[in-house]
Amino acid sequence: MVKQAEAGAPRKVAGIPLNVRTVAGAVLVALATWFILMNTASVKIHLWGISVVVLPLWAVLVVILAVGVVLGWFLRRYRTNRK
């Protein structure tokens, strides 16, 4: 017989709590990975008129994604500390 989960407790799949936030995060990671892998052309980035850098678009997208994740993490920490 299968044990019933307590009311309000998230289901676990392979030891990972499965809730809306986890599923949404996994979908966003999959979409971001697909989008990054589909954009492989090189692009020119103008750095405030000082210089021009040529990089593959996927590298630029990975850096922007990483910066966004770090900023989101800091903002979440800041909000929880203010409460």
Residue ranges covered by each domain of the chain: 1-38, 42-83
pLDDT score for 17 = 76
Single pTM value for the model: 0.59
pLDDT score for 40 = 84
Mean pLDDT value across residues 54-67: 90
Residue 16: C-alpha distances to residues 19, 26, 56 (Å) = 9, 12, 35
User: What is the band of 3 on the pLDDT scale with cuts at 50, 70, 90?
Assistant: low
- Asked if residue 72 has pLDDT above 50, the reply is yes
10-54 pLDDT tens trace: 677 777 778 888 888 889 989 988 988 888 899 998 888 889 999
17 touches 10 (CB < 8 A): yes
